[in-house]
């Protein structure tokens, strides 16, 4: 009887830990959108000073945000700091889809005026294929949300984040 109770308890603990681990790694579209909006609000408040905080901004355990100007030059990146200062408008996924060019075009599809300055304020969801962090030869769908904003200094940028589908 003791052995049976012990086995049942072990199975219960393993099941509990497994479900907790899988739940912690999940990141929904709502999580992504909420964190892009949160980062955008911080950018609108703090301006370019927020760029220094982007490398440590995390949500859903390991998800990150990045900031780009409207020419697709990366201004701050939460995972790949080597991209800062680089224009990635021509980057393609493994199917040839120029996803970053599409993202910028969608953000530029809407404008607003703030303090007498017209800027791009579009929002967009895009899906593309990207290598997994664990295996660079295995591609998965990545879903990215972005929104255009106007910084206090008048720069028009967008903030984005994504999750694997």
> Tokens 């709502």 appear where?
30
User: Can you tell me the distance from the alpha carbon of 125 to that of 106, in angstroms, rounded to the nearest whole number?
Assistant: 9
- Taking the C-alpha atoms of residue 136 and residue 130, their distance in angstroms, rounded to an integer, is 9
Lowest mean pLDDT among 3-12, 62-71, 82-91, 126-135: 3-12
**CA neighbours closer than 13 Å in the CB half-sphere of residue 159:** 26
Architecture in CATH of 27-164: 2-Layer Sandwich (3.30)
pLDDT at 2 (0 to 100): 53
d(CA 40, CA 65): 10
Task: Read off the pLDDT band of 154 (50, 70, 90).
Answer: very high
pLDDT for 54-65, tens place per residue? 999 999 999 999
pLDDT digits (tens, 9 = 90+) for 60-112: 999 999 999 999 999 999 999 999 999 999 999 999 999 999 999 999 999 99
């Amino acid at each position: 009887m003791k052995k049976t109770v012990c086995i049942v308890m072990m199975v219960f603990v393993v099941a509990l830990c497994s479900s907790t681990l899988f739940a912690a790694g999940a990141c929904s579209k709502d999580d992504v959108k909420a964190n892009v909006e949160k980062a955008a609000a911080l950018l609108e408040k703090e301006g370019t000073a927020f760029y220094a905080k982007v490398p440590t901004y995390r949500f859903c355990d390991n998800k990150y945000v990045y900031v780009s100007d409207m020419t697709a030059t990366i201004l701050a990146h939460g995972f790949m700091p080597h991209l800062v200062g680089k224009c990635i408008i021509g980057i393609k996924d493994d199917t040839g889809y120029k996803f970053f060019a599409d993202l910028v075009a969608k953000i530029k599809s809407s404008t607003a005026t703030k303090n007498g300055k017209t800027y791009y304020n579009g929002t967009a969801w895009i899906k593309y294929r990207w290598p997994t962090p664990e295996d660079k030869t295995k591609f998965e769908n990545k879903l990215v949300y972005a929104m255009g904003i106007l910084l206090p200094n008048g720069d028009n940028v967008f903030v984005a984040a994504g999750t694997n589908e």
